[in-house]
Amino acid sequence: MIQSTPDFSSIRSEAEEYMSRMKISVFPEVDMLSQALLDFVREFSWKKILVLYQGSEGLVRIKAVINSGFYELQRKREKIDVLYWEINDIEKTLKELRTNVNYKHIIVDIQTDQIAYFLDVAARMGILTSYHHYMFTSLDLAAINIGGYTLGGVNITGYSLVNTTGRLPQNLRRQWVESSLRPRAQVSSMLLTRNALVIDSVRLFALALNAYLDGLSDFETKSINCQSKSSDEAWDAGDSIYNQFSSVQYEGLSGPIRIDKGRRSDFHLNLIEYDNEGNVQLLGYWNKSNGLNITKSEDQILKEVQKELNNKTLRVVVKEEHPFIIVNRYDDSGNPIPEDAKGRYTGYAIDMMDEIAKGLNITYTTILVPDGSSGRELPNGTWTGMIGMLMTNKADLALGDLTINFERSKVIDFTKPFMSMGISILFKRPEPDPPKLFSFLEPLDNNIWACMIGSYAFVSVFLFCTARFSPYEWKNPHPCNPESDIVENDFTLLNSFWFTIGSLMQQGCELAPKASSTRLIAGVWWFFTLILISSYTANLAAFLTITRMSTPIQNADDLSKQTTIKYGCQYGGSTYSFFENSKIPTYEKMWNFMSQNPDVFVNTSDVGIAKVKSGKYAYLMESIPLRYQLSQHCELMEVGGELDSKGYGIGVPRESPYRDILSNEILSLSERQVLLNLYNKWWNVDNTKCKVEDDSKASSTAAQLGLPNLGGVFVFLLAGLLLAFVIAILEFVINAFINSRADKQTLWSEIREECMFAIKCWGPSEKSVNKYPHVNGNAGAEDLDDLEASQALKPSVMDTSFR
C-alpha cells in the first residue's frame, strides 16, 4: 500500500503502522516536519507562541509536531512560552486573540480550505497587522489565493513540499499542472501537495516494478483477496517488489524521493511567504541535513519594509517634554490650534521625525499620549503611557524623551539611540556668599598656613644654631681695629627670626650670612618663599575675582546623607526605576527616602522645576533636558556628575518590521550631523540667556592650595636644611681641629669646649678671637705664638665669654 496523504489519525498507533513492512509512505515523517517547524521558530526567535488547532485530533497532531521539537528547546533551557487554543468557532477565537495583545506569533493548524476564511475574519478583527506573524502548518499555503490579505503588512508564512519555483522535469510538470487545473481560490480536496504526492507515488511504484521486472523472463500474476487474513493468500512477488522500493531514487514533484524501510528518508521543504503585494515569495528552504536556510537577503527585507512604509501613515505617539516635544495649544493670536494641524507639535523630536519621514518618504500623524507618561508596568502586567499604546497597537512609534532600559526592552523594541545622557541633579543656584573679612587667607588651606608658620620658626632657630656652630659667622665687630681679639655673631635668635621673616615678606634685611652652611639655609629658604608667595599671589587673584557661592550639596552622596533638602524624580519614569532597582548603597538610601516621602515624586518635569525654584528641593532628572532647563532658568544649576549612562530611542512594538530601517535612518542623520544641528538649535548652545552666569560658574573653579599642591616645596626646604646641617658640622669640626692644635689640647676636648659655648643659646654673641683665628680680620693672629700672647693679655674676656 502506498500512502500519499498524511495519516495522523492516531499518533500512538503510528509505530505499529510503520512496523507493517508492506506499507510505504511518500509523505514526510512527522518528526521531520516537527524539526522544520522548530527550526523556523528558532530562526525567527519566537519566544511567545500561540498555537491554534481544530479538534482533539488536531491537538494530538499539532502537539506531536510541536512538542517533540520544543522538548529539545526546553532541554537546552531556552525559555519558550507556548499556548494552545482550540478553534471551535473561528470568529470567537480570533475575537479573544484580539484582546490578548501578548501573542503576535501564531502557528495555525487548520484545514487548508478554511485558511482564507480564517484570514478574512482576522482582517475584520484588525489582527492582520505588520506586527502579527502567522505560520500555517498546511503544506499547500502557496496553492491558495490569499495574497489580498497581506496588503496591510501582516506576515504569512508556511512550508511547501512542492518546489513551485525550482526546475522540474518537463513530463512531470505537465502531469502536475494537468492534475491541478482547478481555480486556485476554490480550494477543494484536489490540492497541490496531494496531487504531487499521488504522481510521485505512482511513478515510484512504476520504477520499483520495472526494477523488479528487469531481467525476469516470466512474470506471474494472480488475483488476491485483499480481505483475507491468511498468509497463504499473499502474493509471492510482493516481498521482492517491496525491496525494490529502497533501490529506487529520483527527483519527483515533491522533491527527491528516497525510500528507506518504507519511509521517505529525504525531502526538501520550501519556506514561502506572501509579500505585501500578495505574491508568493521564497524565503528559504529546509532539509534534514542543513536545517533551515534563509535565502532572502537583509537588503531585500529592508526594501520590502521600505515599500510598505511608503504606502502607510505611521501613528506616532508623543509625550510633552521640552524641548523634545512642545505642544502649542494656542497660536499667536490666542486661538486654539486643532489637534491635527501643522504646528501643533514642535520640538527636537518632531524635527528629527520630519527628517526621518523625508529620508524614508513616509507620512505620519501625531497622537498625544493621554496620561502624559512614557509608561510603567502595572501590577496586572499591562503598561501605561506610550509603551502601553505601542503594546496595544494603538501607535506604531513612540517619540520623545523615551529612555531605553531593560524592563521596557522586554515588552517593546527600540531603535538605535539618537542621544545619550545620564541622571543628574537639578538644584537652585545659591546666593553669592557675602564678602569675608579674612578672605585673604583663603588661597591657601589651613595645613599650608600651619606648615608655613612651623617652617618659619624652625628655619629661624636652625639658622641661629648653625650660625653659632659655624666658625665663619664670627667676625670682628670693630673693622677699624684689626687687633681686636673679640669676635661677634650677627645671627642672634632675634636677628635670625628677623632675617627669615624679611625674606618671607620679600623685603630682605641688612644681615647677610657668610658661612657656606648659613648661606645654604638662606638659599633654600628664599627659594621656598619664592614658590609659596608666587602661588599665594596667583591664587589670591583668582579668589578675589570670583563670586563664591556655597552649595550645600555637591553630589548624590551629599543628598543621601541629609534630609533637610528633599529630592525626588518623575513618577514611574526611567529615573524612578533606576533608583527603585539600584543595589548601590547610596542610591538605595536615596530610594528609601523617596519611597517614604511620596510627595517628592512629580508627574511632569515642569512641576519638578517649579519645586526646585521654590527652594530646599533637588530634582533628579536626565542631563539632556536638564541642560535645556538651565538655559531657560538661570537661577538653576546642575550639581555633581551623571549617575548613570543611557540613551533615548524611538520605541516600536515588539518585532516591528520598521525598527531596523528607522535605526539606519537615525544613524545616517547622526553621521550627516543633522542631529547635531538640531541639538544646537533647540538647546540654544550659542545664545543661551544664561551665558554670563555660565562663564562665571566656569571661573569659580579656583580652589584652595593644599599640601598636595605645595608639599614638594616643604620637602625641598627640609632637604636643603639637612645639607646645611652636614656642612655646618664639617665647618665646626675642621675649626675645632685647628684650634685643638693651637690650644695644644685634644680634638675632643676642643670640640666639647666649643660645643659648650655654642649650645648656650641665650649666651653672648661675642667671644674671644683666639678660637677663630682664621676668621679674625687680624690675619697675623694665626700665628700660634701671637695667639698665646693675646690669650695672656686678655684673660678676663676668655674667662667670661668662652670658658
By CB under 6 A, the residues from 208 to 247 that bind ligand GLU are none
Contact 271, 294 (CB under 8 A): yes
Among the residue ranges 61-69, 186-194, 566-574, 695-703, the one whose residues contact ligand GLU (CB under 6 A):
566-574
Q: Does 158 bind ligand GLU (CB under 6 A)?
A: no
Question: Which region, judged by CB under 6 A, interacts with ligand GLU, from 100-108, 260-268, 527-535, 574-582?
Answer: 574-582
Buried b (16+ CB within 10 A) or exposed e, 619-630: bbbbbbbbbbbb
Q: Which is nearer to ligand GLU, 38 or 643 (CB)?
A: 643
Per-residue burial over 339-352, b = 16 or more CB atoms within 10 Å of its CB, e = otherwise: eeeeebbbbbbbbb
Q: Could you tell me the smallest distance in angstroms from the CB atom of residue 570 to ligand GLU?
A: 4
Site for ligand GLU in 352-381 (CB under 6 A): 374
Of 283 and 675, which has the nearer Cβ to ligand GLU? 675
**Using CB atoms within 10 A of its CB, is residue 200 exposed (0-12), middle (13-18) or buried (19+)?**
buried
- Does position 735 interact with ligand GLU (CB under 6 A)? The reply is no
Residue 276 in contact with ligand GLU, rule: CB under 6 A = no
Report the candidate in 68, 119, 113 with the shortest Cα–Cα distance to residue 90.
Answer: 119
Considering the complex, state which of residue 132 and residue 646 has its C-beta at the smaller distance from ligand GLU. 646
Stretch that binds ligand GLU, among 439-447, 570-578, 585-593, 717-725 (CB under 6 A): 570-578
Neighbours of 492 (CB within 10 A): 18
Q: Which is nearer to ligand GLU, 391 or 402 (CB)?
A: 402
Q: Is 384 in the site for ligand GLU (CB under 6 A)?
A: no
Reading the block at residue 109, the C-alpha cell is: 493548524
CB of 624 to ligand GLU, least distance (A): 9
State which residue, 465 or 626, has the beta carbon closest to ligand GLU. Answer: 626
Query: Least distance (Å) from ligand GLU to the CB of residue 664?
Result: 23
Q: Is 629 in the site for ligand GLU (CB under 6 A)?
A: no
| Residue 575 makes contact with ligand GLU by CB under 6 A | yes
Choose one: 7-15, 180-188, 567-575, 707-715; the region binding ligand GLU (CB under 6 A): 567-575
Cα dihedral 466, 467, 469, 472 in deg (nearest 10): 130
Nearest distance from residue 573's CB to ligand GLU, in Å? 2
Please pick, from the candidates 138, 403, 455, 529, the single residue that binds ligand GLU as defined by CB under 6 A: 403
Among 109, 396, 401, 753, binds ligand GLU (CB under 6 A): 401
- Is residue 529 a contact point for ligand GLU (CB under 6 A)? no
Strands (E), 685-791: 766-768
Residue 415 touching ligand GLU (CB under 6 A) = no
Burial (CB count <10 Å: 0-12, 13-18, 19+), residue 399:
buried
Q: Which residue is nearest to ligand GLU (CB)?
A: 573
Distance CA 605, CA 322 (A): 9
Smaller CB distance to ligand GLU: residue 267 or 579?
Answer: 579
Minimum Å gap between C-beta 633 and ligand GLU is: 17
Task: Rank residues 138 and 623 by Cβ distance to ligand GLU and give the closer one.
Answer: 623
Interacting residues of 161 by C-beta distance below 8 A, sequence separation 6+: 28, 139, 193, 196, 197, 254, 255, 267, 268, 269, 270
DSSP reduced 3-state for 37: helix
Question: Considering the complex, what minimum distance in angstroms separates the CB of residue 87 from ligand GLU?
Answer: 40
d(CA 536, CA 530) in angstroms, rounded, equals 10
> Helix, strand or coil for residue 269?
strand
Give least dist CB 646 to ligand GLU, A: 9
**Which cell is 68 given?**
517533540
Q: Decide whether 576 or 628 has the Cβ nearer to ligand GLU.
A: 576
Q: 175 is written with which cell numbers? A: 502531469
CA distance 182 to 584: 70
On whether the CB atoms of residues 408 and 375 are closer than 8 A, the answer is yes
Residues in contact with ligand GLU, counted by CB under 6 A, come to a total of 12
Cell 486654539 -> residue: 336
Does residue number 569 form part of the binding site for ligand GLU (CB under 6 A)? yes
Residue 638 interacting with ligand GLU (CB under 6 A) = no
Site track 605-624 with ligand GLU (rule: CB under 6 A), x = hit: ----------------xx--
Element (H, E) at 51: strand 48-53
CB of 421 to ligand GLU, least distance (A): 9
Site stretch for ligand GLU (CB under 6 A), options 572-580, 664-672, 678-686, 764-772:
572-580
Q: Between 570 and 801, name the residue whose CB sits nearer to ligand GLU.
A: 570
Residue range at the interface with ligand GLU (CB under 6 A); choices 149-157, 283-291, 396-404, 586-594: 396-404
Q: How far apart are CA 401 and CA 417, in angstroms?
A: 11
User: Which amino acid is residue 235, in one-letter code?
Assistant: W
Residue 720 near ligand GLU by CB under 6 A = no
Name every residue whose Cβ is closer than 8 Å to that of residue 422 and which is 6 or more positions away in sequence: 622, 623, 641, 642, 643, 644, 645, 646
Instruction: Kindly state whether residue 320 participates in binding ligand GLU, applying the rule CB under 6 A.
Output: no
The answer to whether 289 touches 197, Cβ cutoff 8 Å, is no
424 near ligand GLU, judged by CB under 6 A: no
Q: Which is nearer to ligand GLU, 378 or 703 (CB)?
A: 378
Where residue 108 falls (left for φ over 0; alpha for ψ -120 to 50; beta otherwise) is beta
**Nearer to ligand GLU by C-beta: 262 or 385?**
385
The distance of closest approach from Cβ of residue 401 to ligand GLU in the complex, given in angstroms and rounded to an integer, is 4
State how far the Cα of 65 lies from the Cα of 135, in Å rounded to an integer.
13
Task: Give me the residues that bind ligand GLU (CB under 6 A), please.
Answer: 374, 401-403, 569-570, 573-576, 621-622
